[in-house]
Structure 1
Amino acid sequence: MECLKNCCKRLIKKRGAEPDETDGIAIQINPGVRKSSTLDGSHTDYFLSKLPQDGKEVPFILPNTKASYVQPRTSDSQDLRYQMSGVGERPEGSKLHNSNKKNYDSLSSTISTSSSFQSTESSCESGEDLGSLCVQLSYQEEQEQVWITLVQCSQLNLPVNASQKPKIQIKGVITLKKAINFKTSIKEYSQDVHFMESFVFALNLPTLRHSALALKLQTHGTRKRTAAECVLSLRGIQTRETEHWLRLGPPGTAARRGCELHLATCFQPAYRRIQVRALAAQNLQTSSLSLAQEYAVTVELHGDGIPVKREKTLALKAVEGQCQWKAIFYLELGALQPSSCQLTIQLFVRNSLKKKRCVGQVQLGLTVPNLEAVEQWKDSIDHPEKVVAAWHAVT
């Protein structure tokens, strides 16, 4: 910098300029600011300006900026590559979308990721296995962005005619009050199909954890139809990237739009009873019509396959897809052993016309197919007077 100033001074004296003519001034660069360079390799970290009248040097301070992914506005190009270190620099604190205004325009971009894979168990249960879908999830707290990457489908076994060369596409839905929909590009059907497409949405974390990710595999032939589906709860989404292998099942066999029940159990041997608490439900479907919907839970105790006792909660209206009952039931065991008992918890919905239907159910016991339900029941029996609470998908 001193060399630059001396050169400018010599140039001014050589041309016989007046003392108030242009001179070089110092520029103060913040340590966190990345130096930029032009195409020919020359740095552009310094600017020239006129000196003030008093001859003092005025530092030019560059503001701190942070690199952030900017969601594309169109999805015409499917082979874009975004480099996180240099794309879309903007002042710190700005947002991709304003979630309060519910501006949820979603568009996809194809990016390559170098994140390490981490195997997790599938959260979808179905009687017929039509293949599996790999999904990667992460949440960026600083930008308040959720990243959803649909990696691939593996070992697909769809009821389609391969001779017709069908095409497939994945449709995703985030089950918020105002649902967010997105789609992948259309691919040729085969047993293993790679998508590797990421979707970014600006959503706050508490809202996101009360929703689910519903994924439908659609076939494109003479007409478009849903061939398989699965649901992943977003309640446990983390800041680090996690990978989930979801089993695809026939339409209608996946969890009901990701509905979940929060249940607590407690074995009280002194009173020979089981205490059951129906705490809350989330990801409930709310009607856009004038017919108000109310949700209720029934708890039924079975001993050796025979119903023993049945209880139910009050019917409550769902607020933003959630209900909180906090109801406590005391189910007498009598001569029954808790290891041979089983609980069936059913979720019902009722409209203003008093029409009631069953949304789904959760079973707790040592012989039920759900591993999490078995663990909760076993923990309650092995540790008397301990309240064991867990979330369960309604199937």
Structure 2
Amino acid sequence: MLLFGLSVYLLWRKRLTQALYRRLIPATPTIPRCTTPMLQTSQSSSYGSGDEKEEREYRGSVTVGSIWFPLGSIRPDLYQLPEELSEWALPDGSAVRLWFALRYQQEREQLVVSLLRATNLPVQCQGNVTLVKLQLLPSDDRRHRQAKARRKGCHPQFNDTFVFQVSNSCVDHCSLKMSMYTVDHQKKHHLVGQVMIPLRHSELKETAGKVQWRDLDNESDQPLSQNGDIQVTLNYNQSLHRLTVVVLRARGLQCCSVCAHVSLKIHTQVVRNKWTTVAKGNNPSFNERLTFRILPMQLDTACLTLQLQQPSTEEPVLLGIVVIGPFMYARGRELEHWNDMVSKPQELVRQWHPLGSADTVQELQ
């Protein structure tokens, strides 16, 4: 009798709860008063199609009985990109072209960069992975974004979107830098080219969301020197008293393995020596960052000496040397590189330098 009474009580509670839910939640959903219902049979497409089924593909909606309510619409024609390669304007000659779109959202203070694809890569890059590094300058060298191509070949596709936070007052003083690399089977990065795009409020409004293209600047077109060249990036942080030297790569060398020896000299005294790891090949890639401490008052009396050496069991063989510094030590491209480093503390100043012969060491000592 006790179990029977308990079962009857639970059944009564269940029916009472269901009846309560029916009163709280009506069977027919309520429609907000601000929404104007539109008859399904009287609405035609605003894009030139009167077919009701075709319109449903363009519009999102909710249907209540015989009445449907539109939730918004899209324009598929705004998102269509050329499918055939012939529809993308190919560059003349051996230039590499990069396709992208820029949009600046002023209310959010965000720069949206859509990286689409690249065309006309060199044939030797067909089997390599293609990367594009995006950087908003002036900024720290470590703050960059990277896109990887979805397929290999001479015309890789990216279809990636990146967001950079930049205030309205700083947009006109910034530039977008995009550098393209190919990665070989040894995981070495080889620079294909780069492009620098100055940002302007007026131009961003005119070209908002529109597909653009730029041809990359290929630094390898510069003539090689007799002893080879070395590519170096310099940056000086005055507040931290830190001089940063990034040894990127070298080219035109007549050796199998090489390392870079970087020394900081103040007046005639060498205060610090640093070495990179050994890289192989005639066009080795180092991509190593070396830092030195130097006071601002010492910039006019200091210089950097970079030597490329071939390791050996006894003494390393000197392959070439270059001195970068102020007017006291350097001229031409080396002097210009040093002055740009001092005058542009927020930028990474990169430059190719021709290597001098081993006889230059005797003149420097």
Per the normalisation by structure 2, the TM-score is 0.38
State which structure, 1 or 2, has the greater radius of gyration over its C-alpha atoms. 2
User: Whose helix proportion is higher, 1 or 2?
Assistant: 2
- TM-score w.r.t. the length of structure 1 is 0.36
